[in-house]
Amino acid sequence: MDEDRSLFGEGLYPETGALAILARVGFLGCLLAIVAAVVLPPDVTPHFARSRYLEHFAAFYVAALFGLAALPRWRMRRIVALYIALATLLEPSHLVAGAPPAPVFQNWVADLGGLAAACAPVVFERFRRRFPATAGA
């Protein structure tokens, strides 16, 4: 299949296309922002929502979207596993700083919720493609 530089074309999108590069930059930016938010003190990091759980959800939602866009040839299971590992490694670091375990666990659940919400439409679309299209639909 030939490369197709149009946004919604049927051909392969080039790996050096503007959107592919933007997706990779966004992916790395999200990873750096998540790690910085964990490492920096809470009063230094910006808060964009009233709920810290919503912030965790949104951070992993956006990071998962960028990850899926930046790594189109990777299996989704591998990308999801890497994000689960990232959340599982980063959240317990708050326990070392003396945070109570319950909020740390709830933050981890919010991280995984954002990840699941970002991946659900992809999973459902792949599931729907398994069924043959009817002639009248």
Q: How many domains does the chain have?
A: 1
The predicted model gives 78-92 an average pLDDT of 94
Any domain includes 6? no
Q: With beta carbons less than 8 A apart as the criterion, state whether 71 and 27 touch.
A: yes
**pLDDT, the chain, mean:** 87
For residue 124, the cross-strand partners are: none
Answer yes or no: is 31 within a domain.
Answer: yes
pLDDT at res. 10: 64
Task: Judge whether 71 and 23 are in contact, CB under 8 Å.
Answer: no
Interatomic CA distance for residues 122 and 65, integer angstroms:
10
Phi, psi angles (nearest 5°) of residue 40? -75, 155
The arithmetic mean of pLDDT across residues 28-36, rounded, is: 94
Say which residue, 89 or 12, is predicted with more confidence: 89
> Could you tell me the residue range of the domain that residue 40 belongs to?
18-129
Distance CA 51, CA 7 (A): 36
Residue 4 lies in a domain: no
Q: How far is CA 65 from CA 52, 107, 134, in A?
A: 20, 19, 31
Sign of the four-CA dihedral 62, 67, 116, 119: positive
Provide the whole-model pTM: 0.84
